Structure 1
Amino acid sequence: MDLLAGMAEQLPVAVIAELLGVPEADRPLLRPWSNAIVKMYEYGRTTETEDSAERAADEFVAYLRDLAAERRKDLGEDLVSHLVSMRDADGDKLTEDELVTTCILLLNAGHEATVNVSGNGTLALLRHPDQLQRLREDRALLPTAIEEFMRYDSPLQLFERTATEDVEIGGVTVERGQKIAALLGAANRDPAVFDAPDTFDVGRTDNGHITFGAGIHFCIGAPLARVELQASFGALLDRTTTFELGGEPVRRPEFVIRGLETLPVVLG
């Protein structure tokens, strides 16, 4: 089976869709929209890629506006209903555009990294069978293993930030308006921070990785991602006695978002 299609993609999307209140029949729309939109983070984009991202964004926005209109007629307990209630009660707190973009951000940020950690982490286990066996024998290591998946093969390799004022970093002056790229993947292998940074260790406890950012830019979806990842890998270990590579994995062609396009596995 292709683990990405079979496990890694389904749970995160299902959780986010449930939070938003997206009807089950519409949920297959979400992943393709997100995939197209996040390609705008990449370098060397083609016109075709940009057009595809814009179409996906337009379709997603239109869908969410329609969903918000439906919830106005029949409020539920989902996030869209709560945002609609807030919007209608006090438009100064939340505009209609902010309502829509909040939902899009939740989908993109809330599941994209989780999907890629699932694939990257599973591949790391398959290529380090001693660590897989260690995890099977001691499930108490699952929380530290999840952190190591994120550090060892980071799902987001870099992110750009724009200086709001002149600032000196490492003896270099970054002027207001200039962009810098935070190399998250490199930082997570920094030998000044991590002992044996290129070693995959599911029991690593001193693991201060910055996969979810840091400081004022820390992903608010990090706790949810950890819950989803523990559920996914816990189920994988519970329901299998063995699993191994069923063929050569294929990486996604992007650089900023690091993940797998296919991960064939044989489950026992």
Structure 2
Amino acid sequence: MSDTHQQDWDPRAEEVLDDQIAAYDEMRGRCPVAFSDYLQWSLLRHADVRRVLEDHVTFSNAASRHLSVPNAMDPPEHTRFRRLIEPYFGPAAMAEFAPRCRAIAGAVVDRLPADGEVEAMAEMGQDFALEIQCAFMGWPATLHEPLRAWVKRQQAATLAQDREALGELALEFDGVIHEQLASRRAAGDAAPDDVTTRIMNETVEGRALADEEIVSILRNWTVGELGTISASIGILARYLAANPELQGRLRADRRLLPAAIDEILRLDAPLMSNRRVVTRPVEIGGRRLAAGERLTLLWGSANRDEAVFGDPDEVRLDRDPKDNLLYGAGIHVCPGAPLARMELHDFMDALLDASVDIALLPGRPAVRALYPAGGYSAVPLHVRR
């Protein structure tokens, strides 16, 4: 167990936070399974992360202190809830939501200035994430600004590692969901036929879902999407601004857009990590881990592994998509991937349609977000429409 307590690195060190991607690239070559007090065991190689994703018996998802349906569950419990959830992101559901998704993407882009500076995280990423998520859930537009303020406070508390504030914020968000459930129950048969109402009426193993389970499902869908969709749009917009040749290719041939989006988000992760817990003694990457040890899967490193991708910064639109862990792999692969892909495609398509050029602002670099967030906290750009 002495190996367990060896401090291999400090993920919160200034030199790491200054450029997390570069720091992960360096650690991947030097110490691909690394221990720290902050993240416990960090896995930085693609092969090790994939092994964990595909062995849910040895590496359990039950790593949360709170109920998380189905994210922090293992089979058979995970299987039952996953079967319930997947149709919400199936082809029929996506076809039904597609017109609304395109309309919201177009409306957000239409609000951008005709020719001027845009802060992509706030004016594009956050606006779109809030509006599209509320629309998907069937929540009112009056929640946009309260949720924006909540996200800002939640990010600040996460950076400060203020557990008391995070606990209060979690209860506050759960309160928002409870209000949505209460309003639908009060409406009875007149309740809107939306995703939230449908989840309320689901059953698992012949029983109705408990409110705690409903809240957990809706929380996971909403909180996760608000952060990752916003981060993704900031990453994508900045990358196209910095790479006018690729921007031109995508303007000329939109069929390349889905592959380009996945590839750009491979090299610059919108979601930095996930957690697992070891269920039995195991050796991985030459390190011995005991049952109960905690793991951090660093997507921001694994998806840049030279052993799989060669030059991690090279955007190649012909890569084998199965190597890209953007949405995970194995039984816990993100069920919402079809929705996220549609949202990002529709937004970037609308942005390219409505503009003739997206450019960096000289002397105004983007500001990187800090772990556990991926992407940027600010992306100043010039958009010419």
TM superposition score normalised by structure 2: 0.63
Q: Does 1:78 align with 2:194?
A: yes
Report the alpha carbon displacement of residue 227 of structure 1 after superposing the two structures with TM: 0.4
Determine the structure 1 residue equivalent to 2:221.
106
Deviates most, 126-135 or 219-228: 126-135
Report the alpha carbon displacement of residue 144 of structure 1 after superposing the two structures with TM: 0.8
Alignment of 1:143-162 (within 5 A): 143-162=258-277
Cα distance between partner residues in 1 of 2:288 and 2:205 = 43
Report the alpha carbon displacement of residue 148 of structure 1 after superposing the two structures with TM: 1.0
Amino acid at match of 1:166: P
State whether residues 273 and 372 of structure 2, in contact with CA within 8 Å, keep that contact through their aligned partners in structure 1. yes
Secondary structure at the counterpart of residue 279 of structure 2:
coil
Deviates most, 58-67 or 236-245: 58-67
Report the alpha carbon displacement of residue 41 of structure 1 after superposing the two structures with TM: 6.5
Alpha-carbon spacing, 1:174–1:93, altered in 2? closer, same or farther (3 Å): farther
Q: Does 1:229 align with 2:344?
A: yes
Report the alpha carbon displacement of residue 158 of structure 1 after superposing the two structures with TM: 2.3
Q: Using CA pairs below 8 Å that are at least 6 residues apart, which structure has the higher relative contact order?
A: 2
Deviates most, 220-229 or 77-86: 77-86
Alignment of 1:83-94 (within 5 A): 83-86=199-202, 92-94=207-209
Determine the structure 1 residue equivalent to 2:13.
none
Alpha-carbon spacing, 1:34–1:199, altered in 2? closer, same or farther (3 Å): same
Percent of paired sites with the same residue: 30
Secondary structure at the counterpart of residue 243 of structure 1:
strand
Q: How many residues align?
A: 261
Cα distance between partner residues in 2 of 1:216 and 1:40 = 31
State whether residues 201 and 208 of structure 2, in contact with CA within 8 Å, keep that contact through their aligned partners in structure 1. no
Note the residue ranges of structure 1 that are not aligned, 5 or more in a row: none
Cα distance between partner residues in 2 of 1:37 and 1:190 = 31
State whether residues 121 and 153 of structure 1, in contact with CA within 8 Å, keep that contact through their aligned partners in structure 2. no
Amino acid at match of 1:205: R
The structure with the larger Rg is: 2
Cα distance between partner residues in 2 of 1:67 and 1:158 = 30
Deviates most, 95-104 or 76-85: 76-85
Amino acid at match of 1:25: T
| 1:210 paired residue among 325, 330, 333 | 325
Alpha-carbon spacing, 1:41–1:260, altered in 2? closer, same or farther (3 Å): same
Determine the structure 2 residue equivalent to 1:121.
236
Determine the structure 2 residue equivalent to 1:185.
300
| 2:139 paired residue among 19, 22, 28 | 22
Cα distance between partner residues in 2 of 1:46 and 1:111 = 20
Report the alpha carbon displacement of residue 33 of structure 1 after superposing the two structures with TM: 2.7
Report the alpha carbon displacement of residue 85 of structure 1 after superposing the two structures with TM: 2.5
State whether residues 157 and 165 of structure 2, in contact with CA within 8 Å, keep that contact through their aligned partners in structure 1. no
| 1:69 paired residue among 178, 182, 205 | 182
| 1:250 paired residue among 359, 367, 371 | 367
TM superposition score normalised by structure 1: 0.88
Determine the structure 2 residue equivalent to 1:198.
313
Q: Could you say what the CA RMSD is over the residues aligned between the two structures, in angstroms? A: 2.3
Cα distance between partner residues in 1 of 2:180 and 2:206 = 18
Note the residue ranges of structure 2 that are not aligned, 5 or more in a row: 1-117
